[in-house]
Amino acid sequence: MKRKLLITACSLVAAISLSACQQTDVIGTVAKESFAEILETVPEQVEADEENGGWSLSAPDDSARFIWSRDYSKSPVHDVMIEFDAQPFIEAGLDTSKLPEGIAFDDMIMLGTKLGNDELKYSKEADPEASFNKIAELYRKSIGYHEALDHYGVDLGDGNKFEWAKDIGTNDKDMVFVVDPEIFIEAGVDPDKVEGWVYASVEMMDDKGKKVEEKKLLKPFDLQ
């Protein structure tokens, strides 16, 4: 009887803990809502990407894209990634042969990561918003809040991110491609000379939740 009561009590605590987590996950909830607003603001920049098995959100000038998978079990390379023109980096000194394998393709650079091998299931037909929501639901740690810019973002690994504004009505940087410059500097790039990108110190949070300054290459866009 005591064992049964103990199990019941533990189950109750677990249920309460889960409920509390769900109720207090403001970042995950608002990240989904604000990303949906981005998709609604520039529907002409959103399209299916059959080559990568998912969806893409292009920058207004088509120089960069954020790509996310429809089904992690079928992703050919990454589940989340950014892709952008290599030419500005080449003109700033990049020797593509010195980049790690799998980053430079033709005239593009691709940075991303695998989240898992899940076969994603949908209650209705998959669409860009539903597929994005799977990231927040299944891989919540990949979604973060960047307080300095009032942005939410997806961690793409190795210091790279795709970020978007919490409120596009008050923010002049509605979406930002964030690239760690180190591998490009090592491959010959002068980060101050990459046209269309801003090389700047950005306040970030480290793994311990401490604020730190990091150098990043930023490509911001105002959508309104």
Question: Which range marks the domain in which residue 189 is found?
Answer: 26-221
Which of 13-27, 65-79, 139-153 shows the lowest per-residue confidence on average (mean pLDDT)? Answer: 13-27
Given a cut of 90, whether residue 207 has pLDDT beyond it is: no
Domain membership of residue 5 (yes or no) is no
Residue 24 pLDDT: 57
Domain membership of residue 215 (yes or no) is yes
Range 54-65 average pLDDT: 98
Given a cut of 70, whether residue 90 has pLDDT beyond it is: yes
Domain membership of residue 14 (yes or no) is no
* CA 87 to each of CA 90, 106, 195: distance values in angstroms, whole numbers, following the listed order: 5, 10, 9
Locate the DSSP E strands across 11-158: 46-49, 54-58, 64-69, 80-85, 104-105, 108-113, 143-146, 151-157
* CA 103 to each of CA 32, 44, 63, 183: distance values in angstroms, whole numbers, following the listed order: 28, 27, 16, 10
Given a cut of 60, whether residue 6 has pLDDT beyond it is: no
Q: Could you report the per-residue pLDDT of 171-203, keeping only the tens digit for each?
A: 999 999 999 999 999 999 999 999 999 999 998
Residue 1 pLDDT: 52
Domain membership of residue 12 (yes or no) is no
Domain membership of residue 18 (yes or no) is no
Residue of 190, 177, 65 lying closest to 128 (CA atoms): 65
Domain membership of residue 75 (yes or no) is yes
pLDDT band at 73 (very low <50, low <70, confident <90, very high): very high
Give pTM, 2 decimals.
0.86
Number of domains composing the chain: 1
Domain membership of residue 126 (yes or no) is yes
Domain membership of residue 7 (yes or no) is no
